[in-house]
Amino acid sequence: MSRRVVVPRSATYGPGKTDPDGFRRCFAHNPTGAIYAAYNAIAALNDQHQAVATTRKLMLPGPDTNALLRAVETEEPSEAAVAAQPAAFRIIDATTDRVTLSLALPVEDQYMSLTLTLVWYSEDWRVISPKPGDQLGAPFSQHRDLDDFITWKGL
């Protein structure tokens, strides 16, 4: 478990290291490693008290991440936030250094999916930041079931 979210761990796919603040890193350089990294990214983003540090470690450096950091630095952490537990995934596109995937999360009696693109950067997977004004994980979709996904949950 990482920050109230169950995350996968593997000697083969990662994480290979955990920082003192709980941030997990060093995932395998393949699509499966990117899936493990994405689940861990969702867990890391659930800890709003570590939002700035997590954003710096998790996101691909660049102007969009700089804009996201400015926004995150002004937000107040919410104690009422509910942890989002991914229930399934679907790879949309994968190359050696870039993986786009959809993660499905339960919302009441349905599922909502979010989309993440991860790129291999500085020996680990990093999430591409949204453009200013966009939400991380967009585009979002609603699903009645997980028929188009590979279910994978810890509990």
Read off the pLDDT of residues 17-34 as tens digits, 9 standing for 90 and up.
999 988 999 999 999 999
Nearest to 5 by CA among 44, 43, 41, 54: 43
Residue 9 resides in a domain: no
Confidence label for 127 from pLDDT (cuts 50, 70 and 90): very high
Domain assignment present for 39: yes
29 lies in some domain: yes
Bigger pLDDT: 6 vs 137: 137
Does 98 map to a domain? yes
List Cβ neighbours of 43 (8 Å cut-off, separation of 6 or more): 2, 3, 4, 5, 7, 24
pLDDT tens string 53-92:
999 999 999 999 999 999 989 887 666 556 678 999 999 9
Task: Indicate the number of domains in the chain.
Answer: 1
Asked, for residue 12, whether it belongs to a domain, the answer is no
Residue 119 lies in a domain: yes
What is the pairing mode between strands 150-151 and 124-127? unpaired
Q: What is the CATH number of the domain that holds 109?
A: 3.10.450.50
What is the residue range of 68's domain?
17-151
pLDDT at 106 over 80: yes
